[in-house]
Structure 1
């Protein structure tokens, strides 16, 4: 559908409390990741979190059933909108975010669920956390479909199987790299 946006929701569970020393690397990178997304090619918007500085929350934040029994009340998660799959892929696997992904195994418990879910959003619709969690659990339970999918089995906004334009991903990654130079320099100085 013309003007549709791709939504992404991701979720994990930290190995310790958010303010614990074991999570310091994640905590220090989080604002850099948000800034890298904001200046990335194809980024539209992201939900914030109730009671925290930044954009408003898209509804009440809820979590997937996988959090139950973990001993945690919350888990690292984000919800955002992108112009297309290629923009999202270029951001996810390049620059600041890619570096954070490499450290994720140190900060998060091993997952028995998908790391994220993608779906198309009609023009003007802003998904809420409860919608994101519903699609996330659906992907886990049923596998990829036009309702909830991933990069390995993507779908177009019209429901057809999609083919990711790898040349476009590379082009957008180069744009992002230039926009993230200062952030990458700051990232190298973190030391954790």
Structure 2
């Protein structure tokens, strides 16, 4: 059975190393979000540094998830002191499980604060795509799919909740989201 990949990418208003209270709030809420989502039905795995190390995303060993990469539009720092981004790469059993995990509980609370932490951008913040069971997507795959979504719009290659596709490429509708009667949602 295919697995759903979710890649997220956001540019922060200040570097992760910034000691300001707002940055600390983001960091602290992120740990609670990861812990909660990790127990959610339908969640399979997420990219984590192989050695559990600290430092810049760019310097860590991500194991099977590949070398860390960012979209072409990211123009901030790449060191532990200057990195100003949040990115995730995760595997799910299905779109409904991912939707439920993202739009309920502590993650929903964090989403409500996203404009406090993240720059507003004309670029998409996430992309989904399907992979065969057993395939581990890479950070570069995520970047490629997000850039494809930005350049070409939703398609089976890279899509959103509102314009989703089944593993065979058929347009899908997730209850409560997406287009209704052919119109954009």
2:29: which partner in 1?
29
Gaps of 5+ in 2: 55-60, 177-185
Structure 1 segments, 4+ long, off by >6 Å, are none
Distance 1:64 1:50 in 2: 22
Counterpart among 115, 132, 153 of residue 143 in structure 1:
153
Distance 2:51 2:111 in 1: 26
2:49: which partner in 1?
49
Q: What does residue range 150-189 of structure 1 map to in structure 2 within 5 Å?
A: 150-166=160-176
Gaps of 5+ in 1: 167-192
More strand by share: 2
Contact 1:49 1:61 in 2 (8 A): no
1:33-64 Cα deviation digits (max 9, x unpaired): 1111110010000001365359x721111111
1:113-166 Cα deviation digits (max 9, x unpaired): 011000011111110100110001000000000000000100000000012145
Distance 1:51 1:42 in 2: 25
Contact 1:82 1:88 in 2 (8 A): yes
Counterpart among 77, 85, 102 of residue 72 in structure 1:
77
1:60 aligned onto 2:60: no
Question: In the TM superposition, what is the alpha-carbon distance from 1:83 to its structure 2 partner?
Answer: 0.4
Q: 1:53 to 1:72 in 2, by over 3 A?
A: closer
Distance 2:73 2:7 in 1: 14
Counterpart among 117, 130, 135 of residue 107 in structure 1:
117
- Residues paired across the two proteins, number: 161
TM-score, normalization by structure 2:
0.82
1:1-40 Cα deviation digits (max 9, x unpaired): xx10110000011111112213111111111111111100
1:187: which partner in 2?
none
Q: 1:53 to 1:42 in 2, by over 3 A?
A: farther
Contact 1:50 1:60 in 2 (8 A): no
